[in-house]
């Protein structure tokens, strides 16, 4: 009770403190402004801590805790439940934004006043949203006894589909990325209001890199989570909610490349002032769209409706930041841009950067358009339309191809002018190397050895585009190219990009070990793309049924059921043991399968896939709830009636009552005729009297099936039949995804590269002192 009040109070404290800080800083009273800012941050962190404590101590009388946690939930999930709801995720956004403010502010130098002002007003608004959209409300119907609120024994629990380790690490990471967007926005605005579009560039540089690295890591984590969850459609689905994080990430990368041009050439001053603010504005726009219900049902992520006042504040943040950014840019930014140095003509690194930034901006704009499409189409066409993943892939592949080409070629372009032949001479080695690797891939794809475990019935015949191939490729590409060419072409581009950057790492590493970050990131992107292309393009998939005692061949694996790991099938940790033997390897897969008690109808099965990570491929297996009966519901038949049973047909002919129904072993028999494929045979279903009452006997029909008579109705002469299977049958889904490890490897390298760059470019002189622009990265280029 008190803790909730404290939390609420801390949110109000944060609103007041941030407002005071903003006003004080604006009035050029930096010292009290600073302390008010710290107080506000303390309020936000305190509010978060008190909510986390409510969860940790199981205070189910709070609506939010009740809705997202339960008594037996492991402590890690109880903490993660803090951000599993709408209110908690806004709180997380506030916490990460405040954290970034505290860390970055000392490095803002001459921009500190405006930076703090913008930041303080933003955090005040975010805290105000939390004041309305509060997680500290008590359940309204709570039982109050002598002034004490009775605590419900348990809560609704965290949605089972979310109970996975990713819910613990993915949201904090991606929200840390979202928090970092405010840094760039506030800095860009401060630079324009301070009328200095140059000094901020080396200052903001490491934070922009860090921001893109964290966001990228968060995006990849989300992709891995989706990959490990059934039914979420692989790594990436181009869902509006996914795009809300993808769009700012792409624009942050574009901004970072703009920074590099300004740092080296003193150009693009106005462009960078605008680009610094765009990721934040687009993220706020996306958040408003996804949280407001404007997207309606068109996202596969569902969000609860937001409090109206909170929504208006969020809309206010968007409109004010949009107006501020464009107002300042038109009023000041463009003017500051006149200080840019003139363009030097010719093929040089700047031309590569312009093309790259243009392509990234187009990609980001296309994704933003898709993200907002349901909203736009509802306004323009009168009905919400949604853009499907396939359309994104078809449209964006035209941007990804030149981007990958640029990623391959640009590292060889120096800041000084080069001739085309000079340039091509430099990347010829990497080009040749990637041609060789592509040839090797082609040979591998065609080899019967490829996909150690899946040779056999689904081995793709690449020439004719077997169904497996056709489907995978159309889904991936939408081009009417032969599948093999499409995949090989993309693999070539990705390997060219990877080898080119690896080559440059080799060249640069000798001179400056720390300056390889950019090339490392590019290598990561290329490897990631290669992994996505191969694992999706060459994926094999089969749906089958495995009887309990009869090992069954699926793809080229033999699947043999080997029991469950828990006796209690309602235990969340229960898994099915399935022995997998393939030509390549043998192991026991343990996909999750457990039941949820369901008051509405029969208990529902929850399944989690098992992913076997082999160095060269992933085998992804899910096992559904076993089927015990050949019929779905008990079959009720009157004399002379028939009913279908799978592909067979059952007819109830007649029944025989015992001579003395009261005798100890009285037996009732129903004569049935089973017809299957024009063959009919007689079957007798029986029921006997035992000491405890009437009981059905199991009559074996064949190796697959029993019949049991569950009951008789003397009034209408009907009988109730059940058809148990001799062995329960497990429905299974098996996927074979080659080279998935490249996706993980690429994501890891991408983050490593970002971290390296951020460290390399970190600003060691946090003050107004003039910063000498480091050009170490460029030196070897001009020297080479």
Partner 1 sequence: MYVMRSKRTGAIVTGIVALAALSGITVAFLKSGSPYVTVAEAKGSKGDSLHLAGSIDLATLRDDRIHNKLSFTLIDRTGARMQVVHTGEPVNNLGEAKQVVAIGHVENGVFVSEKMLVKCPTKYEGVDSKSGA
Q: Which is nearer to partner 1, 557 or 730 (CB)?
A: 730
Q: β-pairing, 557-564 with 552-554? A: antiparallel
Q: Dihedral of the CA atoms 369, 373, 376, 381 (nearest 10)? A: 130
When binding is defined by CB under 8 A, the residue of 143, 150, 304, 323 that contacts partner 1 is: 304
- Closest approach, Cβ 132 to partner 1, in A, equals 5
User: Counting Cβ atoms within 10 Å, is residue 34 exposed (0-12), middle (13-18) or buried (19+)?
Assistant: middle
- Closest approach, Cβ 442 to partner 1, in A, equals 30
Site for partner 1 in 75-94 (CB under 8 A): 84-87, 89
When binding is defined by CB under 8 A, the residue of 32, 74, 143, 305 that contacts partner 1 is: 305
Q: Which is nearer to partner 1, 376 or 423 (CB)?
A: 376
DSSP 563-617: EES-S-TT-TT-BEEEEEE-SS-EEEE--EEEEE--SSSSPEEEEE-EEEE-SSE
Torsions phi, psi for 628 (to 5 deg): -105, -20
Q: Which is nearer to partner 1, 45 or 398 (CB)?
A: 398
Q: Which is nearer to partner 1, 131 or 726 (CB)?
A: 131
When binding is defined by CB under 8 A, the residue of 74, 296, 316, 640 that contacts partner 1 is: 296
The helix/strand/coil state of 634 is coil
When binding is defined by CB under 8 A, the residue of 145, 345, 678, 716 that contacts partner 1 is: 345
The helix/strand/coil state of 488 is helix
Q: Which is nearer to partner 1, 690 or 702 (CB)?
A: 702
- Closest approach, Cβ 315 to partner 1, in A, equals 16
- Closest approach, Cβ 6 to partner 1, in A, equals 16
Torsions phi, psi for 426 (to 5 deg): -75, -35
**How many residues of this chain bind partner 1 (CB under 8 A)?**
87
Q: Which is nearer to partner 1, 78 or 112 (CB)?
A: 78
Site for partner 1 in 541-570 (CB under 8 A): 543, 545
Site for partner 1 in 431-490 (CB under 8 A): none
Site for partner 1 in 241-270 (CB under 8 A): 241
Report CA 6 to chain centroid distance, whole Å: 34
Cα Rg, the chain, nearest whole Å: 32
Q: Which is nearer to partner 1, 63 or 556 (CB)?
A: 63
- Closest approach, Cβ 545 to partner 1, in A, equals 6
Decide: is 230 part of the binding site for partner 1 (CB under 8 A): yes
Alpha carbons 314 and 299: distance in angstroms, whole number: 20
Contacts of 737 (CB under 8 A, 6+ apart): 535, 536, 539, 617, 618, 619, 620
Q: Which is nearer to partner 1, 148 or 385 (CB)?
A: 385
Torsions phi, psi for 39 (to 5 deg): -60, -45
- Per-residue binder mask for partner 1 (CB under 8 A), 358-397, x = binder: x--xx--xx--xx--xx--x-----xxxxxx-xx--xx--
- Per-residue binder mask for partner 1 (CB under 8 A), 45-64, x = binder: ------------------x-
User: Counting Cβ atoms within 10 Å, is residue 573 exposed (0-12), middle (13-18) or buried (19+)?
Assistant: exposed
Q: Which is nearer to partner 1, 26 or 168 (CB)?
A: 168
User: What is the maximum alpha-carbon separation in the chain?
Assistant: 111
Alpha carbons 87 and 51: distance in angstroms, whole number: 11
Distances from the Cα of 550 to the Cαs of 12, 368, 558, 622, in angstroms?
Answer: 65, 51, 10, 18
Structure tokens at 658: 């015992």
When binding is defined by CB under 8 A, the residue of 74, 297, 680, 702 that contacts partner 1 is: 297
User: Counting Cβ atoms within 10 Å, is residue 457 exposed (0-12), middle (13-18) or buried (19+)?
Assistant: exposed
Site for partner 1 in 629-658 (CB under 8 A): 630, 632, 646
- Closest approach, Cβ 83 to partner 1, in A, equals 9
Decide: is 706 part of the binding site for partner 1 (CB under 8 A): no
- Closest approach, Cβ 600 to partner 1, in A, equals 4
The vertex-172 CA angle with 170 and 177, nearest 5°, equals 95
Alpha carbons 24 and 6: distance in angstroms, whole number: 26
Q: Which is nearer to partner 1, 377 or 718 (CB)?
A: 377
Alpha carbons 204 and 140: distance in angstroms, whole number: 47
Site for partner 1 in 723-742 (CB under 8 A): 729, 731, 733
The helix/strand/coil state of 464 is coil
- Closest approach, Cβ 9 to partner 1, in A, equals 13
Site for partner 1 in 398-427 (CB under 8 A): 398-399
- Per-residue binder mask for partner 1 (CB under 8 A), 112-131, x = binder: -------------------x
Sign for the pseudo-dihedral over CA of 281, 283, 289, 295 = positive
When binding is defined by CB under 8 A, the residue of 2, 302, 679, 692 that contacts partner 1 is: 302
Contacts of 310 (CB under 8 A, 6+ apart): 90, 128, 129, 130, 132, 133
- Closest approach, Cβ 296 to partner 1, in A, equals 7
- Closest approach, Cβ 233 to partner 1, in A, equals 8
Q: Which is nearer to partner 1, 114 or 736 (CB)?
A: 736
Alpha carbons 624 and 734: distance in angstroms, whole number: 12
Whether 655 contacts 711, CB under 8 Å: no
Alpha helices (H) in 147-239, listed in sequence order: 166-193, 200-228
Q: What kind and span of H or E run contains 720?
A: strand 718-722
- Closest approach, Cβ 316 to partner 1, in A, equals 17
Q: Which is nearer to partner 1, 517 or 592 (CB)?
A: 592
Alpha carbons 471 and 228: distance in angstroms, whole number: 22
Site for partner 1 in 508-547 (CB under 8 A): 543, 545
Q: Which is nearer to partner 1, 114 or 392 (CB)?
A: 392
Alpha carbons 299 and 232: distance in angstroms, whole number: 12
The helix/strand/coil state of 113 is helix
Site for partner 1 in 321-340 (CB under 8 A): none
When binding is defined by CB under 8 A, the residue of 49, 56, 300, 684 that contacts partner 1 is: 300
- Closest approach, Cβ 106 to partner 1, in A, equals 34
Site for partner 1 in 131-170 (CB under 8 A): 131-134, 137, 139-140, 155-157, 159-162
- Closest approach, Cβ 208 to partner 1, in A, equals 23
When binding is defined by CB under 8 A, the residue of 20, 41, 43, 68 that contacts partner 1 is: 68
Q: Which is nearer to partner 1, 67 or 279 (CB)?
A: 67
Beta carbons within 10 angstroms of residue 436's beta carbon: 12
Q: What kind and span of H or E run contains 72?
A: none
- The region of 186-194, 299-307, 313-321, 423-431 touching partner 1 under the rule CB under 8 A is 299-307
The helix/strand/coil state of 667 is strand
- The region of 66-74, 438-446, 651-659, 661-669 touching partner 1 under the rule CB under 8 A is 66-74
The helix/strand/coil state of 218 is helix
- Per-residue binder mask for partner 1 (CB under 8 A), 588-627, x = binder: --------x-x-xx--xxxx--------------x-xx-x
Decide: is 571 part of the binding site for partner 1 (CB under 8 A): no
- Closest approach, Cβ 17 to partner 1, in A, equals 19
When binding is defined by CB under 8 A, the residue of 307, 649, 695, 697 that contacts partner 1 is: 307
Q: Which is nearer to partner 1, 35 or 132 (CB)?
A: 132
Q: β-pairing, 617-623 with 610-613? A: antiparallel
């Amino acid at each position: 009770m008190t803790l909730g009040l404290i939390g609420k109070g801390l949110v109000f404290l944060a609103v007041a403190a941030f407002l005071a800080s903003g006003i004080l800083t604006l009035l050029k009273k930096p010292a009290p402004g600073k302390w008010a800012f710290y107080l506000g941050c303390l309020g936000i962190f305190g509010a978060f801590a008190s909510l986390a404590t409510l969860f940790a101590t199981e205070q189910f009388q709070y609506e939010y805790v009740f809705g997202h946690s339960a008594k037996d939930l492991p402590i890690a999930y109880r903490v993660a439940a803090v951000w599993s709801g709408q209110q908690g995720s806004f709180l997380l956004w506030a916490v990460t934004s405040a954290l970034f403010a505290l860390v970055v502010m000392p490095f803002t130098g001459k921009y500190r006043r405006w930076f703090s002002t913008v930041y303080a007003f933003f955090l005040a608004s975010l805290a105000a949203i939390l004041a309305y959209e509060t997680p500290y409300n008590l359940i309204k119907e709570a039982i109050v006894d002598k002034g004490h609120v009775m605590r419900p024994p348990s809560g609704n629990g965290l949605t089972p589909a979310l109970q996975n380790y990713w819910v613990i690490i993915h949201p904090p990471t991606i929200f840390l990325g979202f928090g970092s967007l405010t840094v760039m926005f506030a800095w860009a605005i401060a630079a324009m209001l301070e009328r200095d579009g140059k000094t901020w560039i080396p200052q903001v540089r490491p934070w922009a890199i860090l921001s893109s690295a964290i966001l990228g890591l968060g995006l990849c984590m989300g992709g891995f989570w989706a990959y490990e969850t059934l039914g979420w459609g692989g790594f990436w689905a181009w869902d509006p909610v996914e795009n809300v994080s993808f769009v700012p990430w792409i624009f942050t990368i574009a901004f970072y490349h703009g920074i590099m041009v300004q740092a080296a050439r003193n150009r693009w001053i106005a462009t960078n002032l605008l680009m610094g603010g765009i990721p934040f504005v687009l993220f706020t726009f996306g958040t408003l769209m996804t949280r407001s219900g404007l997207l309606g049902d068109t996202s596969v992520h569902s969000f609860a409706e937001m409090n109206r006042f909170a929504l208006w504040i969020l809309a206010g943040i968007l409109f004010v930041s949009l107006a501020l950014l464009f107002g300042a840019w038109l009023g000041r930014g463009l003017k500051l841009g006149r200080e840019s140095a003139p363009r030097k003509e010719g093929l040089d690194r700047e031309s590569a950067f312009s093309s790259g930034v243009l392509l990234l901006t187009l990609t980001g704009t296309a994704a933003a358009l898709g993200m907002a499409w349901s909203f736009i189409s509802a306004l323009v066409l009168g009905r919400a339309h949604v853009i499907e993943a396939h359309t994104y892939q078809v449209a964006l592949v035209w941007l990804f191809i030149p981007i990958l080409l640029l990623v391959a070629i640009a590292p060889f372009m120096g800041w000084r002018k080069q001739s085309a032949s000079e340039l091509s001479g430099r990347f010829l080695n990497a080009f040749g190397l990637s041609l060789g690797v592509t040839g090797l891939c082609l040979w591998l794809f065609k080899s019967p050895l490829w996909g150690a475990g899946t040779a056999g019935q689904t081995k793709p015949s690449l020439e004719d585009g077997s169904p497996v191939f056709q489907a995978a490729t159309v889904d991936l590409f939408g081009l009417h190219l032969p599948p093999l060419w499409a995949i090989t072409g993309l693999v070539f581009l990705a390997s060219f990009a990877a080898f080119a950057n690896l080559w440059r790492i080799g060249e640069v590493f000798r001179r400056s070990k720390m300056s390889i970050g950019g090339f490392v990131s590019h290598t990561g992107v290329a490897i990631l793309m290669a992994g996505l292309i191969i694992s999706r393009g060459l994926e094999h998939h089969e749906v089958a049924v495995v009887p309990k005692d009869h090992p069954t061949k699926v793809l080229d694996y033999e699947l043999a059921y080997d029991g469950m790991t828990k006796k209690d099938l309602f235990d969340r940790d229960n898994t099915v043991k399935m022995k997998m033997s393939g030509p390549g390897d043998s192991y026991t897969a343990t996909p999750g399968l457990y039941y949820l008690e369901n008051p509405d109808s029969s208990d529902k099965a929850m399944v989690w896939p098992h992913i076997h990570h082999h160095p060269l491929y992933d085998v992804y297996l899910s096992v559904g709830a076993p089927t015990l009966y050949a019929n779905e519901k008990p079959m009720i038949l009157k004399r002379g009636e028939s009913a279908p049973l799978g592909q067979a047909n059952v007819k109830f002919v007649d029944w025989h009552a015992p001579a003395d129904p009261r005798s100890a072993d009285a037996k009732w028999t129903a004569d049935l005729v089973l017809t299957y494929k024009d063959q009919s045979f007689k079957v007798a279903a029986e029921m006997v009297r035992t000491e405890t009452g009437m009981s059905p006997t199991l009559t074996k029909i064949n190796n697959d099936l029993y019949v049991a008579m569950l009951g008789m109705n003397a009034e209408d002469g009907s009988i109730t039949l059940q058809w148990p299977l001799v062995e329960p049958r497990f429905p299974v889904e098996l996927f074979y995804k080659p080279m998935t490890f490249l996706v993980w490897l690429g994501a890891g390298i991408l983050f490593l590269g970002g971290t390296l760059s951020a460290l390399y470019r970190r600003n060691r002189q946090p003050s107004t002192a003039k910063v000498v622009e480091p050009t170490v990265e460029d030196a070897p280029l001009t020297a080479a």
